[in-house]
Amino acid sequence: GAVVSQHPSWVICKSGTSVKIECRSLDFQATTMFWYRQFPKQSLMLMATSNEGSKATYEQGVEKDKFLINHASLTLSTLTVTSAHPEDSSFYICSATSLRLAKNIQYFGAGTRLSVL
């Protein structure tokens, strides 16, 4: 149980285009979803926290107009990287928590590797 699916796993796009990444909780309803970014040989950095039906809370230094987060249902959150540039190339990972499951544990997706040419 507690499976989080992330799609796509790998995406290559041209500079200036937008890319949407989906994060789904497959067998539970996610109270909260999180988006992280990880550059090569670095640790994960939290980008934003989102609760279903409300606006995401972005971490300091993360541009909310560039990284659009939509959490329309209890099982789906999307991250859209708008007008992507090569410096946005990174590993993007989502996670989800549920108060009905083991408390305070985050379940992570497999990640999406974004390469912007």
Partner 1 sequence: DAKTTQPPSMDCAEGRAANLPCNHSTISGNEYVYWYRQIHSQGPQYIIHGLKNNETNEMASLIITEDRKSSTLILPHATLRDTAVYYCIAETSGSRLTFGEGTQLTVNP
With CB under 8 A as the contact rule, the residue among 25, 69, 109, 116 that binds partner 1 is 109
Residues 6+ positions from 94 with CB-CB distance below 8 Å: 4, 6, 21, 23, 33, 34, 35, 36, 77, 79, 108, 109
Name the pairing type of β-strands 57-58 and 67-73. unpaired
| 101 near partner 1 (CB under 8 A) | no
Q: Which helix (H) or strand (E) holds 116?
A: strand 112-116
| 7 near partner 1 (CB under 8 A) | no
d(CA 99, CA 104): 7
| 20 near partner 1 (CB under 8 A) | no
| 13 near partner 1 (CB under 8 A) | no
Within positions 28 to 87, which residues make up the interface with partner 1, using CB under 8 A?
32, 34, 36, 43-46, 49
Residues forming contacts to partner 1 in the complex (CB under 8 A) are: 4, 6, 32, 34, 36, 43-46, 49, 91, 93-95, 97, 103-111, 113
